[in-house]
Amino acid sequence: MSPLGTLRRMHAIAGAPQLIVSFLARLPVSMVLIGTLTLVTVETGSVAAGGLVSGAIALGEALGGPVIARFADRIGQRPVVLATSLLDAALIAALVAAVYSGAPLPLLVLSAAAAGLCMPQIGPLARSRWIALAGRRPHDRERSVAAALSVEGVLDETGFVIGPALVGVLAVVADPGIAVLGAAALIGVFGSAFALHPTALPGAPAEAAQESLLRLGLLVLTVPMFCQGLFFGATSTGVTAFTQEAGHGDLAGLMYAVMGVSSAVSGLLMASVPASVPLPLRLRAAALLLTVCSVPLLLAPGPVTLALAMLALGCGIGPHIVSLFGLAERAAPAARLGQAMTVIVSSLIVGQSLGSMAAGRLAEEFGFHGAFLMTLGASATALAVAVGVVRSRWYRPAGRAAPATAGAA
């Protein structure tokens, strides 16, 4: 199945509006993080303060996300996503007001953490929604699930490329605060639209909702996803350090975008992999590709060779993430799929935050090589887990039926 064919399949399952709304509802996540970092840094004159406030948002989301998804699985996506979207939009606006009013740093950190705690979990809940819709197509459920997870991975990555770019443009044309307020508006409007879409899943029966998430197959996946977060944090830091050392600091965003493009294309192509190729094998192949392609980062002599290395590196990212979510779908209880997906995403967020902090210190001590060594270490660890720990027997297709949706797709 070509990338275009994958998109056509998603359109057939639920229509273009679902794709558009879910993308615009998750776009603000990256906008809030980079926008808050920029805003606080500009207003306080302290990069450390900006990093602390932005980090509080990320940590809050990592902690609050699984709780929000748990409520969505139990009582239904519509009321939970609607409430958190409107509340989070208000909390982000309040954070911007606090920054402009010169509020003390501890108050800014608390406000940021509250905004992160209430962030609507669009990405994970969209994945559970697509999987439920795919269950309505028993004749090709596996291919439909593969297409859904491929497209969702692309939407996430596209958001993390476009979001910072939008913040940069708005910060130059207007003000960093406008960028953050714009993100709040997107959350309020399109988060609500996502909540009210006819495909929103209802709550699960009480008995089914009590199934435990403490399944070995699911818990193991948090490790390679955490490594993927470390990878992202270390790589972005390493690219920034490399371009600055080379005297081309303005190329950092472009370098990262190159990786995002190849990752998106390879992620879409995962829907074309024959069902006979087991998901654990796909995970191992993707982790191996990540590890092998991390080595050239340490050897790149200039911006052109770094761009080529980033292009190759992206070819492993999309398949790795899509395979992890595919395995999570098989390991998790059907009635708690949204929360399971959010736990996996939270592992990524925590890893990315810690990776950025640790790689920053390494870059200060050893230059870009220090950050890229962390990229290689994270990839190698993910490969070790995929090969030495992940077992196929934990991830057999369940053939589960889809929960009824609140309306026709």
pLDDT attached to residue 405: 39
Residue 114 lies in a domain: yes
Which is nearest to 394 in space by CA: 207, 226, 214? 214
Residue 272 lies in a domain: yes
Dihedral angle of Cα 156, 162, 166, 168, to the nearest 10 degrees: 110
Residue 256 pLDDT > 80: no
Please compute the mean of the pLDDT values over residues 112-126 and round it to a whole number: 92
pLDDT band per the 50, 70, 90 thresholds, residue 406: very low
Of 165, 180, 203, the residue that ends a domain is: 203
User: How do the residues of the chain divide into helix, strand and coil, expressed in percent and rounded to 5?
Assistant: 85, 0, 15
Residue 403 lies in a domain: no
**Given its phi and psi angles, is residue 316 left (phi above 0), alpha (psi -120 to 50 degrees) or beta?**
alpha
One-letter amino acid of 310: M
Q: What is the rounded distance in angstroms from the CA atom of residue 165 to the CA atom of residue 311?
A: 19
Which is nearest to 352 in space by CA: 34, 119, 115, 41? 34
Q: What is the mean pLDDT of the chain?
A: 84
Say if residue 223 is in the same domain as residue 197.
no
pLDDT band per the 50, 70, 90 thresholds, residue 349: confident
- The CB density around residue 406, as the number of other CB atoms within 10 Å, is 15
Residue 358 lies in a domain: yes
Say if residue 221 is in the same domain as residue 191.
no
- Please write the tens of the pLDDT for every residue from 66-89: 999 889 988 999 999 999 999 999
- Please write the tens of the pLDDT for every residue from 354-382: 887 788 788 878 888 898 999 999 999 99
Which is nearest to 355 in space by CA: 164, 225, 163, 162? 225
Of 180, 203, 226, the residue that ends a domain is: 203
* Residue that is written with structure tokens 């989301």 in the block: 61
The residue that leads in pLDDT, 224 or 41, is 224
pLDDT band per the 50, 70, 90 thresholds, residue 237: confident
**CATH number for 24:** 1.20.1250.20
Say if residue 123 is in the same domain as residue 101.
yes
E strands, 129-223, in order: none
Q: What is the rounded distance in angstroms from the CA atom of residue 30 to the CA atom of residue 39?
A: 14
pLDDT attached to residue 138: 63
42 and 168 Cβ atoms separated by less than 8 Å: no
pLDDT attached to residue 11: 64
Say if residue 137 is in the same domain as residue 234.
no
Q: What is the rounded distance in angstroms from the CA atom of residue 1 to the CA atom of residue 118?
A: 38
122 and 189 Cβ atoms separated by less than 8 Å: no
Could you report how far apart the first and last alpha carbons of the chain are, in Å? 23
Say if residue 9 is in the same domain as residue 143.
yes
pLDDT attached to residue 249: 60
Of 203, 222, 237, the residue that ends a domain is: 203
pLDDT attached to residue 6: 66
DSSP 277-346: S-HHHHHHHHHHHHHHHHGGGGT--SHHHHHHHHHHHHHHHHHHHHHHHHHHHHHS-GGGHHHHHHHHHH
Q: What is the rounded distance in angstroms from the CA atom of residue 233 to the CA atom of residue 116?
A: 19
Residue 151 lies in a domain: yes
Residues 6+ apart with CB under 8 A from 351: 225, 226, 227, 228, 229, 230, 231, 232, 233, 378
- Please write the tens of the pLDDT for every residue from 84-110: 999 999 999 999 999 999 999 999 999
Residue 167 lies in a domain: yes
pLDDT attached to residue 13: 67
Residues 6+ apart with CB under 8 A from 261: 311, 314
Helix (H) or strand (E) holding 4: helix 3-14
pLDDT attached to residue 5: 62
pTM score, two decimals? 0.79
- The CB density around residue 90, as the number of other CB atoms within 10 Å, is 15
309 and 300 Cβ atoms separated by less than 8 Å: yes
* Residue that is written with structure tokens 């949204």 in the block: 338
pLDDT attached to residue 204: 74
pLDDT band per the 50, 70, 90 thresholds, residue 404: very low
pLDDT attached to residue 398: 55
Residue 407 lies in a domain: no
Report CA 219 to chain centroid distance, whole Å: 18
- Please write the tens of the pLDDT for every residue from 126-167: 888 888 877 666 666 777 777 777 777 778 777 776 777 677
Say if residue 146 is in the same domain as residue 235.
no
Best-predicted range by mean pLDDT (20-34, 102-116, 120-134, 163-177)? 102-116
pLDDT band per the 50, 70, 90 thresholds, residue 333: confident
Phi then psi dihedrals of residue 212, to 5 deg: -80, 145
Please compute the mean of the pLDDT values over residues 211-223 and round it to a whole number: 89
Say if residue 248 is in the same domain as residue 196.
no
Say if residue 219 is in the same domain as residue 179.
no
Residue 405 lies in a domain: no
- Please write the tens of the pLDDT for every residue from 384-395: 999 999 999 898
* Token output for 390: 């992940």
Taking CB atoms within 8 Å and a gap of at least 24, the contacts of 40-46 are 40/99, 40/108, 42/176, 43/99, 43/100, 43/102, 44/105
Q: Tally the domains of the chain.
A: 2
Say if residue 179 is in the same domain as residue 273.
no
* Residue that is written with structure tokens 């609050």 in the block: 64
pLDDT band per the 50, 70, 90 thresholds, residue 408: very low
Say if residue 187 is in the same domain as residue 292.
no
Residue 8 pLDDT > 90: no
- Please write the tens of the pLDDT for every residue from 32-65: 887 887 788 888 887 678 878 888 898 898 899 8
Which is nearest to 236 in space by CA: 317, 180, 150? 317
- Please write the tens of the pLDDT for every residue from 267-304: 888 878 887 889 999 999 999 999 999 999 998 888 88
The residue that leads in pLDDT, 8 or 101, is 101
Say if residue 194 is in the same domain as residue 342.
no
313 and 291 Cβ atoms separated by less than 8 Å: no
Query: Domain span at residue 229?
Result: 211-397
124 and 69 Cβ atoms separated by less than 8 Å: yes
pLDDT attached to residue 375: 94
Say if residue 165 is in the same domain as residue 286.
no
